[in-house]
Amino acid sequence: MGVFFSYILLGLSLAAPIGPVNAAQLDRGIKGGFFPAWFVGLGAVTADAIYMLIVYLGVVHVVDTPFVQTFLWLFGGFVLIYTGIESMVSAKEIRSSDDRNREPLFKSFFAGFIMSITNPLTILFWLGIYGSVLAKTVSSYGNEALILYSCAIFIGLLTWDIAMAAVSSSFRKVLNTRILTGVAVISGVALIGFGFYFGLQGILLLIQHS
């Protein structure tokens, strides 16, 4: 049981570092409440599941080619910059009351999914982390334990998702409109910053292999 909880903690630690998805969850939680923020995280977790499956099946070389990585960097950068600008433009529409103009949940889910699936760092992350987990689990506990401990990682990811959604949505209740607008603008700037970083990496990779 102790080993199982250690893998839950691993899932939490994988989701916790500040990145585009967390910034988007903060933005959606402030503007729309718990469920939009939660669905951003669910989209990201779905992308994580796909990459876990890719690593498990041993076909990571397909998404690890220079062409695919360049495309992911550039497209991911575009998505993040667009999302960040959209966040800043709509920041002035925030109201601290419960009268919320929520976007459709599928749009929140898709935003989280695209941000995560187009992030080449996610590929490298899961290749390094989950690849080592695969090797350790199989050698120490056998193939039977692999599904169990993979589920534990997912529990950690989902726990962080729920926590981020709860925290970001609760900001609406304790902060005034001016502060909420400021936080939304900061989230937008962070997304744009991540977008420019992704774009720069894509351009450098394109130059390197041209």
**Rounded-to-integer distance, Cα 135 and Cα 126, Å:** 13
- In the three-class reduction of DSSP (H, G, I as helix; E, B as strand; rest coil), residue 37 is classed as helix
Q: Tell which residue, 124, 148, 139, has the closest CA to residue 64.
A: 124
Instruction: Classify residue 161 by burial, with Cβ atoms within 10 Å: 0-12, 13-18, 19+.
Output: buried
What per-residue confidence (pLDDT) applies to 97? 47
Can you give the three-state secondary structure of 73-121, one letter per residue?
A: HHHHHHHHHHHHHHHHHHHHHCCCCCCCCCCCHHHHHHHHHHHHHCCHH
What per-residue confidence (pLDDT) applies to 18? 64
Segments of the chain with pLDDT less than 50: 97-99
What per-residue confidence (pLDDT) applies to 172? 74
User: What are the angstrom distances between the C-alpha of 52 and each of 14, 92, 130?
Assistant: 13, 39, 7
Average confidence score pLDDT of the chain? 81
How does DSSP classify residue 164? Answer: H
What per-residue confidence (pLDDT) applies to 46? 93
Q: Are 100 and 32 in contact (CB under 8 A)?
A: yes
Q: Are 133 and 66 in contact (CB under 8 A)?
A: no
- DSSP assignment of 143-158, as one string? THHHHHHHHHHHHHHH
What per-residue confidence (pLDDT) applies to 1? 64
Phi, psi at 69, each rounded to 5°: -65, -40
| Extents of the domains making up the chain | 2-208
What is the amino acid identity at position 10? L
Instruction: Report the chain's C-alpha Rg in angstroms.
Output: 18
**Rounded-to-integer distance, Cα 182 and Cα 188, Å:** 10
